[in-house]
């Protein structure tokens, strides 16, 4: 399994996930043409996607999702709340339609098993996701004000974790946002700060985790190097020299391997012996 973040942050979110011949798009927060261009640039035909998963109905996550899904005949998958609040209800009756995802209930999409998890955010029914194949697990959680214990446990068991690191608390406090917006961002239904991400990294990360990708960074209240430094200090505190930090900017990332290096190495050994 591998992933490629196409775009991350308030100007748009979309991530490609690949497991063997199965490809899914997580969020469609760019215009439909841009989404299609990025998917093709990654070597995948848009109509070959197994689904477009939606985390929640905010525009930076759903902007081109409906138009893209209709144009290429790909089904949308999200919570009932996202379906209603995002205006996707009519698509439920169409083909390929909108499939309802429920927290804690795994969905089979080709070679992937996807488990949605409820998270607190100022949206109708937002979700984080854990993607599994028999050999690897990928956790993805952005747009959440705090990390519920059970979601933290699900992420902690993953080989690669994409986690929100939205703002630096001091930059948010001293920055240009109007006070009500500052309060919303910092609230339990807002966004995780660099400190929140660092706390998870220092205290929860499982032994099999080899990469943490910091995502949904604010362009106003954060800086990629600040987010990276905070996460790397957390790794040092936890004594973890075996974990790599990646930072997803608005331009995304390259392909990132989810499979544990040990498994990749074991396969290489096998080929050598053979």
The burial of 206, by beta-carbon neighbours within 10 Å (0-12 exposed, 13-18 middle, 19 or more buried), is given as middle
Are 167 and 38 spatial neighbours (Cβ–Cβ below 8 Å)?
A: no
Using CB under 5 A, which of 18, 60, 159, 196 touches Zn ion? 60
Closest approach of Cβ 258 to Zn ion, in Å? 22
Plot region of 73 (φ>0 → left; ψ -120 to 50 → alpha; else → beta):
left
Give the contact letters, 90-129, x = binds to Zn ion (CB under 5 A), - = no.
Answer: ----------------------------------------
* For Zn ion, the closer CB: 132 or 191: 191
Closest approach of Cβ 13 to Zn ion, in Å? 6
Contact status: 164 vs Zn ion (CB under 5 A): no
The burial of 13, by beta-carbon neighbours within 10 Å (0-12 exposed, 13-18 middle, 19 or more buried), is given as buried
Closest approach of Cβ 127 to Zn ion, in Å? 11
Distance CA 172, CA 177 (A): 7
- Structure tokens that stand for 11 in this block: 């100007």
Closest approach of Cβ 38 to Zn ion, in Å? 17
**Piece in contact with Zn ion (CB under 5 A), picked from 56-64, 89-97, 128-136, 174-182:** 56-64
Closest approach of Cβ 221 to Zn ion, in Å? 14
* For Zn ion, the closer CB: 15 or 22: 15
Neighbours of 213 (CB within 10 A): 24
Closest approach of Cβ 54 to Zn ion, in Å? 11
* For Zn ion, the closer CB: 12 or 32: 12
Total number of residues that touch Zn ion (CB under 5 A) = 3
Distance CA 10, CA 101 (A): 24
**Piece in contact with Zn ion (CB under 5 A), picked from 139-147, 178-186, 233-241, 249-257:** 139-147
Distance CA 241, CA 51 (A): 36
Using CB under 5 A, which of 125, 143, 168, 196 touches Zn ion? 143
The residues with which 221 forms a beta bridge, in sequence order, are: none
* For Zn ion, the closer CB: 60 or 125: 60
Of residues 163, 171, 131, 125, the one with CA closest to residue 146: 163
**Piece in contact with Zn ion (CB under 5 A), picked from 142-150, 221-229, 236-244, 247-255:** 142-150
Using CB under 5 A, which of 4, 34, 58, 210 touches Zn ion? 58
- Calculate the CA 249 to chain-centre distance: 13
* For Zn ion, the closer CB: 108 or 181: 181
The burial of 95, by beta-carbon neighbours within 10 Å (0-12 exposed, 13-18 middle, 19 or more buried), is given as exposed
Are 81 and 121 spatial neighbours (Cβ–Cβ below 8 Å)?
A: no
Closest approach of Cβ 174 to Zn ion, in Å? 22
Residues lying near Zn ion in the complex (CB under 5 A) are found at: 58, 60, 143
């Amino acid at each position: 399994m591998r992933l490629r973040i196409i775009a991350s942050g308030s100007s748009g979110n979309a991530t490609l996930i690949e497991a063997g011949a199965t490809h899914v798009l997580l969020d469609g927060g760019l215009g439909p043409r841009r989404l299609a261009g990025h998917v093709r640039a990654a070597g995948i035909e848009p109509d070959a996607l197994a689904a477009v998963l939606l985390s929640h109905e905010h525009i930076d996550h759903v902007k081109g999702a409906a138009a893209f899904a209709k144009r290429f005949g790909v089904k949308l998958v999200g919570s009932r709340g996202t379906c209603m609040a995002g205006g996707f209800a009519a698509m439920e009756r169409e083909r390929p339609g909108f499939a309802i995802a429920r927290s804690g209930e795994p969905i089979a999409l080709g070679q992937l098993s996807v488990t949605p998890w409820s998270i607190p955010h100022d949206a109708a029914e937002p979700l984080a996701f854990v993607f599994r194949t028999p050999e690897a697990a990928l956790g993805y959680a952005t747009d959440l004000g705090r990390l519920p214990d059970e979601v933290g446990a699900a992420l902690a068991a993953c080989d690669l974790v994409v986690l929100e690191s939205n703002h630096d608390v001091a930059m948010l406090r001293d920055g240009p946002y109007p006070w009500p917006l500052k309060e919303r961002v910092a609230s339990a239904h807002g966004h995780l700060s660099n400190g929140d991400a660092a706390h998870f990294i220092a205290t929860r990360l499982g032994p099999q985790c080899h990469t943490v990708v910091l995502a949904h960074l604010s362009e106003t209240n954060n800086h990629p190097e600040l987010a990276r430094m905070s996460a790397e200090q957390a790794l040092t505190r936890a004594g973890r020299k075996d974990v790599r930090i990646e930072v997803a900017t608005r331009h995304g990332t390259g392909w990132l391997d989810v499979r544990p290096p040990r498994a990749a190495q074991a396969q290489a050994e096998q080929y050598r012996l053979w």
